[in-house]
Amino acid sequence: MPDSTYDAVVVGSGPNGLAAAIAMQQAGLSVLLIEGKNELGGGLRTAELTLPGFRHDICSAIHPLAVASPYFQTLPLAQYGLEYLTPPVAAAHPFDDGTAAAVLASIDATAATLGPDAAAYRRLLAPLVAEWPSLVRAALGPLRLPPKTLALARFGLSALLPATVLARRFSGEKAKGLLAGMAAHSIQPLSNLTTSAIGLVLLTAAHRGGWPLARGGSQSIADALVAHFRALGGHVETGTFVRSLGQLPAARAVLLDVTPAQLLEIAGHSLSRIYQWQLRRYRYGMGVFKVDWALAAPIPFTAPECAQAGTVHLGGTLAEIAAGEQAAARGQHPARPFVLLAQQSLFDATRAPAGQHTAWAYCHVPNGSRHDMTAAIESQVERFAPGFRERILARHTFDPLQMQAHNPNYVGGDINGGVLDIGQLFTRPALRASNYRTSQRGLYLCSSATPPGGGVHGMCGYRAARLALREVFGLEAPPLQGEG
């Protein structure tokens, strides 16, 4: 650990830690970024997990919120080699009859795959797509009331609904199943309030910018962010796992890209009793069980739309997906789990040797589970792609505790940094005037355990850095486009 004195220290190099470090460095401060692992990136890491030449994204794989991020859009990441590739079908949702719902760039083209619900889909999505710049700032920013536009008010009313309720606007199984798959990204029972929010945001993002992946792997996003931070003069220290504030060099501000469990370990003795009490009550959600495959050929999906999709949602009907998510939330392991699958190598030749492919998939399981879900996940793939198993050359799995060992922020395998239900959506990690400020002056939380929560967008880090700049240094970060 360097003995130097810095203006600010940021602990953790996930997308939020990197965003915070860059924002502080942009303000002209001297910033040190500390990462416990030898590799930078947090959830943005790519590695040869199965066989040589097969590159797999360890956690995050598809990045609609990264390209939509109001902060990342201000950064010149392309000059550091970052290139996004956008599949023609953002997400496909196959059914047992061999057909699929498909989310394409056009609302009308998407609606055409939904049969009798085409008009209802257009009515729901068209206003949100038209208001996307304001919507994405609202979705990835602090809670503000009242909404500025009618479209935002409409979004708010729909977003608060359980996905099972919003689905009543549709009559057919295709539209209902499509919405269920989108809402299941919330990692909670679909009967919960606010589960419609992430589904609507993801669908709207698909119609505005698609669901891209990074050429070469998600690590490319982290590499570009790190390169920009260093180009600004930032300092980086890897291989130093911070367990207490006493390990850190002197600094006027410290920003921690950690969740409440690690915050209590690192700084618990210096936090107020009431704040510690709130942190201990923080709730983590379901974990994930993940499989990566090296494949001899592409996945042979029956529905042709799936061959053009970067992401495929496997779970069939709304009823089946809702039952599986509810079971996992209750501590059970569904026989037919909802599976989120990505097939990056169809669009990025750098992911596998010529003529061969990779695939990435996970399902939701009880927090901390050690149950092997490989067979259940592969059965779901085989269900919609007969002959899939014959193409597997090798596989690698992560159970929830192995995910946590890879990244301590994934407590019990919770990749969202805590439940994103109505009880924690706007008050994460505690009910305070500012979610980013801890009870100790100069100490801030900048992780996905703060609003707006999980996802590769960097907005938790940016918001925390902006607050620290104002409170500690008397500086104002330039407002993002559209903000005052």
Q: Give 312-322 pLDDT, tens digit per residue.
A: 999 999 999 99
Instruction: Look at 290 and 154; give whichever has higher pLDDT.
Output: 290
Q: Which residues contact 198 (CB under 8 A, 6 or more apart)?
A: 182, 183, 185, 186, 420
Residue 128 has pLDDT above 70, yes or no: yes
What whole-number distance in Å separates Cα of residue 466 and Cα of residue 484?
Answer: 13
Alpha helices in 143-246 (DSSP H): 150-159, 163-166, 173-183, 195-208, 219-231
Same domain, yes or no: 52 and 104: no
The number of domains in the chain is: 2
List, in sequence order, every residue forming a beta bridge with 11; answer none if it has no partner: 34, 256
* Domain assignment present for 483: no
Cα within 13 Å of Cα(301), Cβ side: 26
For the chain, the average pLDDT equals 95
* Domain assignment present for 479: no
Q: CA distances (Å), 306 to each of 32, 215, 316, in order? A: 44, 20, 14
Same domain, yes or no: 167 and 292: yes
- pLDDT class of 207 with cuts at 50, 70, 90: very high
- pLDDT class of 143 with cuts at 50, 70, 90: low
The two tokens of residue 188 are: 């909670």
Residues above pLDDT 90, as percent of the chain: 89
Range of the domain at 248: 6-82+215-282+417-473
The two tokens of residue 467 are: 């607050």
Q: Which of 374, 406, 438 is the last residue of a domain?
A: 406
Q: Which of 385, 406, 427 is the last residue of a domain?
A: 406
- The per-residue pLDDT for range 240-281, each reduced to its tens digit, is 999 999 999 999 999 999 999 999 999 989 999 999 999 999
Number of C-beta neighbours around residue 171 at 10 A: 12
Q: Which of 406, 435, 465 is the last residue of a domain?
A: 406
Same domain, yes or no: 299 and 367: yes
Same domain, yes or no: 146 and 183: yes
- pLDDT class of 449 with cuts at 50, 70, 90: very high
List, in sequence order, every residue forming a beta bridge with 472; answer none if it has no partner: none
pLDDT of residue 1: 47
* Domain assignment present for 240: yes
CATH number at residue 335: 3.90.660
Q: Which amino acid is at 93?
A: H
Surface-to-core class of residue 273, CB atoms within 10 Å of its CB (0-12 exposed, 13-18 middle, 19+ buried): exposed
Surface-to-core class of residue 166, CB atoms within 10 Å of its CB (0-12 exposed, 13-18 middle, 19+ buried): buried
Same domain, yes or no: 297 and 331: yes
End-to-end Cα, the chain, rounded Å:
39
* Domain assignment present for 104: yes
List, in sequence order, every residue forming a beta bridge with 270; answer none if it has no partner: none
Task: Answer whether 94's CB lies under 8 Å from 314's CB.
Answer: yes
- pLDDT class of 477 with cuts at 50, 70, 90: confident
- pLDDT class of 330 with cuts at 50, 70, 90: very high
Three-state DSSP state, 441: coil
Same domain, yes or no: 117 and 72: no
Tell me how many degrees the CA angle 125-84-99 measures, rounded to the nearest 5: 50
Q: Which residues contact 178 (CB under 8 A, 6 or more apart)?
A: 93, 101, 103, 114, 313
Same domain, yes or no: 164 and 304: yes
Same domain, yes or no: 357 and 453: no
Q: CA distances (Å), 194 to each of 75, 155, 159, 185, 329, in order? A: 31, 11, 5, 12, 16
Cα within 13 Å of Cα(324), Cβ side: 26
Residue 426 has pLDDT above 70, yes or no: yes
* Domain assignment present for 1: no
CATH number at residue 434: 3.50.50.60
DSSP designation for 102 = E
- pLDDT class of 354 with cuts at 50, 70, 90: very high
Same domain, yes or no: 183 and 304: yes
Location of structure tokens 């196959």:
94
* Domain assignment present for 412: no
DSSP designation for 397 = E
Q: Which residues contact 4 (CB under 8 A, 6 or more apart)?
A: 32, 235, 249
Task: Answer whether 263's CB lies under 8 Å from 279's CB.
Answer: yes
* Domain assignment present for 138: yes
Same domain, yes or no: 188 and 309: yes
Location of structure tokens 């209902």:
176
What whole-number distance in Å separates Cα of residue 185 and Cα of residue 90?
Answer: 14
pLDDT of residue 146: 58
Cα within 13 Å of Cα(467), Cβ side: 21
Q: Which amino acid is at 236?
A: V
Same domain, yes or no: 125 and 145: yes
Same domain, yes or no: 158 and 95: yes
- The per-residue pLDDT for range 361-419, each reduced to its tens digit, is 999 999 999 999 999 999 999 999 999 999 999 999 999 999 999 999 999 999 999 99
pTM of the model: 0.95
Q: At what angle do helices 132-139 and 195-208 cross, to 10 degrees?
A: 140
What whole-number distance in Å separates Cα of residue 469 and Cα of residue 467?
Answer: 5
The pLDDT of 153-160, averaged and rounded, is 85
Residue 338 has pLDDT above 50, yes or no: yes
* Domain assignment present for 127: yes
